Amino acid sequence: MKYLKFKDGSKMPVIGLGTWKSSPGKVKDALQNAIQFGYRHIDCAAVYQNEKEVGEGIKAGLASAGIPREELWVTSKLWNNAHKKEDVLPALKKSLADLQLNYLDLYLIHWPVVFKSNIEGFPKNEEDFLALDEVPIIETWNAMIEAKNQGLIKNIGVSNFSIKKLEDLIDQTEDFPTVNQVELHPYLHQDELLQFCQSHKIHLTAYSPLGSGDRTPQMKADDEPSLLENEIVLKIANKHKCSPAQVLLKWSVERGTSVIPKSTNAQRIKENLKSIDVNLTGEDMNELKTLDKHYRYVNGKFFETTSKYHNIYDD
């Protein structure tokens, strides 16, 4: 396995198991299988509403693989209803309790969006939001630093942050985010963001690397392009005698990011980890470069409000 290295000496395995959309009934077995197959990186979030079962799976997986918790990298994310400084620690402690852990390797601000503290899950109308100047990101960030100083988190970072939002944040702190987790795949290269992050030693993690085909119908556009059925992806997979998913995952690794494919299927969990062994050539990468069409499967614009100014991608 390859790793991304962090300032504090910790190392994140570049392929992790995603748990968004993994149903509580399946995710425990998925985790146990994944850890047994060799996964050492798990990506979670409070809003996925399955951290209790993920915790059971982690416990079972560590026991069956016979490894200590320290060998596993676990990420979780602060939901949008807990950005106020007094809400950060309780939200973190809830994730830790559900995951049955006493520290996280990485904790991320999930979105640069704020909901009122009493909103569970998703808002119903504009009144459920707060503006970013009512609860600035730096307030949330300083509470994350405090949790790190208490030993509850090893690294802190963000998710779904544009270059502008990263710049705003790093202008106000000496403790830079270590990771920005964003959507990345051959239809959405985000080269400028990648270069900006690399120049500031911020690692990128690629979510929805396979196109997240299991999103609910409400989250899908009618004319969505398929990554797994793309002709160039299929051609490269054929050439290397591997699966299209493995091409997509190794593409992320070749670009220097980590990647968190979600699966609850034992065969596909194994297959995704093995993508590390696919040898994509420079020519393959060049062909995949031609696929960029700035396409987002997970378009955070559904969080945008005009009255409470949230411009997710600053475009």
* Residue ranges that bind ligand A2P, judged by CB under 6 A: 18, 208-214, 228, 243, 245, 261-265, 268, 271-272
Rounded Cα distance between 271 and 2, Å, is 16
- Indicate the residue among 91 and 278 with the shorter CB distance to ligand A2P: 278
Residue 207 bears catalytic tag:
no
Question: Least CB distance from residue 30 to ligand A2P, whole Å?
Answer: 8
Given the residues 48, 107, 207, 297, select the one marked as catalytic.
Answer: 48
- Indicate the residue among 132 and 245 with the shorter CB distance to ligand A2P: 245
Which DSSP letter does residue 238 get? Answer: H
- Indicate the residue among 18 and 57 with the shorter CB distance to ligand A2P: 18
Question: Least CB distance from residue 307 to ligand A2P, whole Å?
Answer: 32
- Indicate the residue among 26 and 85 with the shorter CB distance to ligand A2P: 26
Rounded Cα distance between 147 and 72, Å, is 20
Question: Least CB distance from residue 18 to ligand A2P, whole Å?
Answer: 5
Order of strands, edge to edge, in the sheet holding 41-43?
A: 17-18, 41-43, 73-78, 104-109, 153-159, 179-183, 203-207, 258-259
Question: Least CB distance from residue 233 to ligand A2P, whole Å?
Answer: 11
Segments of the chain assigned E as strands: 3-5, 11-13, 17-18, 41-43, 73-78, 104-109, 114-115, 129-130, 153-159, 179-183, 203-207, 258-259
Per-residue tokens: 276: 């590390």
Active site residues: 48
